[in-house]
């Protein structure tokens, strides 16, 4: 079961790297602003939903690892963090990023650019915390 947990972690990390290295640069290199935006607005909700599923799977596998032995609390905690942060990204941060991006298209003021930068940074940060949490689970769990 631990092998399944490790495979899940590295499959997700691979998906994150694949997006960062291939999908994101390709979108911006090949699509105009509105089309790139439309693609990303369709892509990210799916990505965050899958990340929620990964967090829930980590919890499930960790509970399974706990049967007949000590509770695998570290895995359960990481699963909870991943699930919560992905949910926050999906339901709170991403809608606000989209709203500010729309405002930015209408009024590219420095204030709105700064808001967008902060919100986008928060989203990337939450995503990064999840990735680091999963790598730590692999390394120390």
Q: Write out the two tokens for 4.
A: 């399944």
d(CA 40, CA 23): 10
CA atoms within 13 A on the CB side of 16: 20
What's the pLDDT tens digit per position in 94-106? 999 999 999 999 9
Percentage of residues of the chain with pLDDT beyond 90: 91
Given a cut of 90, whether residue 90 has pLDDT beyond it is yes
- Report the pLDDT averaged over residues 32-60: 96
Q: How far apart are CA 78 and CA 56, in angstroms?
A: 10
Q: What is the DSSP string of 64-80?
A: HHHTTSS--HHHHHHHH
Per-residue pLDDT tens for 58-89? 999 999 999 888 888 999 999 999 999 999 99
pLDDT at 1: 82
């Amino acid at each position: 079961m631990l092998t399944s947990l490790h495979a899940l972690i590295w499959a997700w990390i691979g998906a994150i790297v694949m997006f960062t290295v291939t999908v994101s640069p390709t979108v911006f290199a090949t699509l105009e602003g509105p089309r790139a935006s439309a693609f990303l607005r369709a892509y990210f909700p799916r990505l965050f939903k899958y990340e929620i599923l990964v967090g829930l799977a980590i919890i499930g596998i960790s509970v399974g690892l706990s049967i007949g032995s000590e509770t695998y609390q570290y895995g359960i905690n990481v699963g909870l963090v991943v699930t919560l942060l992905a949910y926050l990204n999906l339901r709170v941060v991403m809608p606000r990023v989209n709203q500010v991006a729309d405002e930015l298209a209408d009024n590219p003021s420095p204030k709105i650019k700064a808001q967008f930068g902060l919100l986008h940074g928060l989203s990337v940060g939450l995503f990064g915390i999840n990735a680091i949490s999963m790598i730590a689970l692999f390394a120390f769990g």
